[in-house]
Structure 1
């Protein structure tokens, strides 16, 4: 456990702290979060500690990535608990910017990423990646880390951030962290706390169905048939609706339809369970020749 953790709330403060580290020849790894932290976030902190001398986490619930009717106001704010977790895991700094400093009354700039940010999530949340791109750009500009760590659970988001950083020539290494799962395979998420016992049983079927779909495609099953069967299996398992089950190329996220896979792919899923929207993904290997 770290003896202390430095809580910084100002832009000037975070810039000064990073410059101090840099002056001592120390590297920094940054883990941006929206709080309500769990072991999935802590796995990112642990990876960050392996990458750099100093670890900085941020807590900021970003309003620009919530669409009207989504749970911005209901999103859990647990700052005291979050800071304690970060301290116990050995983070050096937690940056908690004041909301008014992120988007002042004169803010008028938007950032839109094409390519990997199109389709999948944006078919259901059209402005989501615009909000993500904007807040990530602002945070990366303020913290200016050597590394920034993002989880693979939000696979399209990770691809979008990589595209953003490359296109805007940001001198930052974006690192993807493997998905942290519970003992039943359910991807850890702040929203899992909304489930009761029966809801958890249904939610945990997602990983089972997804893995089965990936396995069958790797054995040479037709992509469209495997995807269609998985959608039906999710609904039969108790999911109320399925936003998408799609197979994409792992890097460009271009659509892969029909036939048998002849290269690696990524299976991406979004489905609703007991009022909670779950997203997950899984690598798919091509059939051995």
Structure 2
């Protein structure tokens, strides 16, 4: 496994791999890897010949009162996990390598970034799309794998790729959960034992939404109301939003016809957590992946 912090190294390595006919897969991460991240690496291995992972805590996607400085980092641990998975290349740049001078050019996707998390984190998705566009230009991957847990991020990146004609296929991977149902997240490390137990209310509320859907409920407001009721039953949970939207456009739904994304964001103590389920009518079931 090759590890570098230099853009020039990445360009040279990828050029060599492409000349030998290799299909390049990219998994962008912010590190502090868990099983969810590793599942993306495995999916990338299925769809490409050479798997690259970026590890970069991107400062421009964090707001002024967010957790950039305390975001968990452990590069040595991450590298051991990636080597075990058979990763071929890891890019772990410094902030100075990615942003060597004042950043005057950014990439912004309108409309769908104003909803869900974007409504509460102004500028966040502009930071995401800008760094992902940079990574796509650095790696020129054939495929890139992102997790469904960040469903809005997937929709935003897909739209950026479509609008700007990036020659990369975006693959969405299923949410990976702990045995008790909590969606895996690097931020789970912030939770104390009481909060960790309380955090199960997120997946519990989505299970109730799934039950309603399985029983034929298609009124979005009825589903939203039920999810809110369950979330509000937990004293440590402060709901930020519960939404039922189309997974591609992120437009609010009043009635579910073909597919829907039921997305939630909550604070458990001071830790912000997100979760969602993707529903497709033709399967009358949750959709776990698009692989």
Instruction: Give the TM-score band, short-chain normalised.
Output: over 0.9
- 1:213-224 residue pairs with structure 2 within 5 A? 213-218=209-214, 219-220=216-217, 222-224=219-221
Equivalent residue, structure 2, for 1:264: 259
Equivalent residue, structure 1, for 2:225: 228
Equivalent residue, structure 2, for 1:55: 51
Equivalent residue, structure 2, for 1:185: 181
- For 2:277 and 2:195, how far apart are their aligned partners in 1? 22
- For 2:136 and 2:218, how far apart are their aligned partners in 1? 42
Aligned structure 1 segments of 4 or more residues deviating by more than 6 angstroms:
none
Whether the 8 Å contact between 1:18 and 1:143 is mirrored in structure 2 is yes
Unaligned runs of 5+ in 2: 285-291
Equivalent residue, structure 2, for 1:27: 23
- For 2:230 and 2:43, how far apart are their aligned partners in 1? 35
Equivalent residue, structure 1, for 2:287: none
Aligned-pair CA distance for 1:235: 1.7
- For 1:108 and 1:251, how far apart are their aligned partners in 2? 29
2:208 is equivalent to residue 212 of structure 1 = yes
Aligned-pair CA distance for 1:159: 0.5
Counterpart secondary structure, 2:26: strand
Aligned-pair CA distance for 1:221: 5.3
Of 163, 172, 185, the residue aligned with 1:167 is: 163
- For 1:128 and 1:164, how far apart are their aligned partners in 2? 15
Whether the 8 Å contact between 1:239 and 1:271 is mirrored in structure 2 is no
Equivalent residue, structure 1, for 2:61: 65
TM-score by length of 1: 0.93
Of 219, 239, 242, the residue aligned with 1:242 is: 239
Aligned-pair CA distance for 1:250: 2.1
Counterpart secondary structure, 2:105: coil
Aligned-pair CA distance for 1:286: 4.1
Whether the 8 Å contact between 1:182 and 1:188 is mirrored in structure 2 is yes
Whether the 8 Å contact between 1:214 and 1:267 is mirrored in structure 2 is no
Whether the 8 Å contact between 2:5 and 2:93 is mirrored in structure 1 is yes
Whether the 8 Å contact between 1:215 and 1:284 is mirrored in structure 2 is no
Equivalent residue, structure 1, for 2:288: none
Equivalent residue, structure 2, for 1:96: 92
Counterpart secondary structure, 1:150: strand
- For 2:175 and 2:244, how far apart are their aligned partners in 1? 18
2:12 is equivalent to residue 16 of structure 1 = yes
Q: Report the more deviating stretch, 205-214 or 155-164.
A: 205-214
Whether the 8 Å contact between 1:14 and 1:95 is mirrored in structure 2 is yes
Whether the 8 Å contact between 2:218 and 2:257 is mirrored in structure 1 is no
Counterpart secondary structure, 1:148: strand
Counterpart secondary structure, 1:107: coil
- For 1:238 and 1:91, how far apart are their aligned partners in 2? 42
Unaligned runs of 5+ in 1: none
- 1:70-219 residue pairs with structure 2 within 5 A? 70-218=66-214, 219=216
Q: Report the more deviating stretch, 275-284 or 217-226.
A: 217-226
Whether the 8 Å contact between 2:155 and 2:247 is mirrored in structure 1 is no
Counterpart secondary structure, 2:223: helix
Counterpart secondary structure, 1:115: coil
